[in-house]
Amino acid sequence: MATLTEVAIPASRRTVPAVELRGVSKCFRTRPGGPPWRRGAMVEKTALQALDMEMAVGAITGIIGVNGSGKSTLIRILATLMVPDTGTARIFGHDVVRDAGTVRRHINRVSVEAAFFKELSPWENLLYAARLYGAVDDARARAESVLRRLGLPGDAMDRPMKQLSRGQQQKVAIARSFLTSPSLLLMDEPTTGLDPHSKRDVQRLILAEAEALCDRIVILEGGAVAADAPPAELCAGGGSLEDVFLRMTGHSIGDDTEDSS
């Protein structure tokens, strides 16, 4: 699966990097599963391996990786939902730990826990979000365009959210994130829980957007950077970005690994 991080930097913040990571690492202590009497001692798993990374102002950077690659851990740190064990992470110069409130005003995140007003329709939920972000102009046309590309039936736009399937609701969450045009867009496992067909719809959209729009693609594997280059350079040997991902990591973009860091 893939996560697209999109950065569209306002002119007022062009003097600092959009995202800056210095020695950011994260470990988790877990106990092997099974019945309590069979569980072993606590073990430490490294989710991120002291990442150093900088995303340039005015650029669009895609970060992709299968479940368990450390991608979600990185996103949660950038979204101020998790504190790194070591190092510092800054968004537009603001430390994600010390300046969490300021950071949250500049980001939007799509996750498996997307919340909606279930009695309202997808369009009413999207319009509410658009108004909050001051992005009402052409909102209906833009919302319909994104939802159409995600495969949501046209008649679902004006039905109550509670009548939509879990997969359809997740597609609305993804459309909402695109519609509000945040300075930094974080997509955290947006296909988790979707049926196989819906999952592929979303994955194709994310990879197509990444390959077409991103100035740079970062592939994470095992908590470390497996590749970091412009899409054209990664795909220079032929094939699509999904082919490159398979070649670099040995995984299909839809694969899950044993843990979900």
Write down the CATH superfamily of domain 1-106+183-261.
Answer: P-loop containing nucleotide triphosphate hydrolases (3.40.50.300)
Q: Residue 90 has which token pair?
A: 């800054």
Rounded distance between C-alpha atoms, residue 62 and residue 7, angstroms:
9
The torsion defined by the Cα of 76, 82, 88 and 93, in degrees rounded to 10, comes to 60
| Strand 216-221 versus strand 184-187 pairing type | unpaired
| Domain boundaries defined on the chain | 1-106+183-261, 114-181
Reading the chain (261 residues) residue by residue, the pLDDT tens digits are 334 344 444 555 557 888 999 999 999 987 766 566 666 677 888 999 999 999 887 777 888 887 788 888 998 999 999 999 999 999 999 999 999 988 887 887 777 666 788 899 999 988 888 887 777 888 888 888 888 888 888 889 999 999 988 878 888 888 887 776 677 777 776 666 667 777 677 666 667 766 777 888 898 888 999 989 998 898 887 777 778 878 877 776 655 544 444
Backbone torsions φ then ψ of 68, nearest 5 degrees: 95, 0
Helix locations, the chain, DSSP H: 71-78, 100-104, 122-132, 139-149, 166-179, 196-213, 231-234, 241-249
